[in-house]
Amino acid sequence: MDPRSQKKGFTIISLDESFFFYDSLVRKVWIEEGKRPVARITGSHKHSCLFGAMDIEGKQLFRQYDKFNGDTFLDFLKIIHSKFPKCYLFMDKASPHYRSRKVTEYLEENRDTLIPEYLPTASPEFMILEEVWNIAKRELLVLKHYSSFEDFKDKVSLYFRTKRFALNMRNYLLRTV
């Protein structure tokens, strides 16, 4: 998209979603020679789906859902639309983004204020939120243990309500491959 073609009053939003599993991620660690590291894992398949949006100025919006489908994405899209009334939406081609009838109808009804821009398939390097997910998973999941799934969801929610990611979206959208 040519910056000169950007409509007046519009902002640029990058959005994505990721699953956070209720289990510890095990990474390399320093440990005393001859000792064996112990990492608690739950073996659970429970997860929380995080939806995220960040604008070109660094404003961010996160919501936690139990699943990722057309209905949850539409709900998040409406929240984005209320916070950013006019925007270009840079997103990947996950099926709820463009195959959900409800989502496509909503985008069509609001085509003057919500303009979707689909990034090329398999190109996470253009997604600022991919870096956000990497940072968050490292801080929330690596060698961490939560007493319950509810405790886990509460900590994830608190993290995304209070964490500010100092990333520059231009470095991602204008990247050459």
Q: Is residue 29 a contact partner of residue 143, using CB atoms and an 8 Å limit?
A: yes
How high is the pLDDT of residue 105?
Answer: 97
**Please, what is the end-to-end C-alpha distance for the chain in angstroms?**
16
Tokens representing 30 are 């320093």
Query: pLDDT tens-digit profile of 22-60?
Result: 876 655 666 788 887 666 666 677 899 999 999 999 999
How high is the pLDDT of residue 2?
Answer: 45
* 55 bridge partner residues: 13
Pairing relationship of beta strands 47-55 and 114-118 according to DSSP bridges = unpaired
Measured CA to CA, the distance from residue 28 to residue 73 in angstroms comes to 35
Measured CA to CA, the distance from residue 20 to residue 172 in angstroms comes to 23
How high is the pLDDT of residue 177?
Answer: 53
Segments making up each domain of the chain, as ranges: 10-22+40-173
How high is the pLDDT of residue 114?
Answer: 97
**How would residue 5 be classed by pLDDT, with cut points 50, 70 and 90?**
very low
Q: Is residue 96 a contact partner of residue 70, using CB atoms and an 8 Å limit?
A: yes
Q: In Å, what is the CA distance from 72 to each residue of 2, 21, 63, 152, 162?
A: 31, 18, 10, 20, 23
CATH architecture of the domain covering 10-22+40-173: 2-Layer Sandwich (3.30)
Closest-CA residue to 128 (of 169, 166, 159): 169
What is the mean pLDDT of the segment spanning 149-177? 90
Query: pLDDT tens-digit profile of 53-102?
Result: 999 999 999 999 999 999 999 999 999 999 999 999 999 999 999 999 99
Q: What's the pTM?
A: 0.83
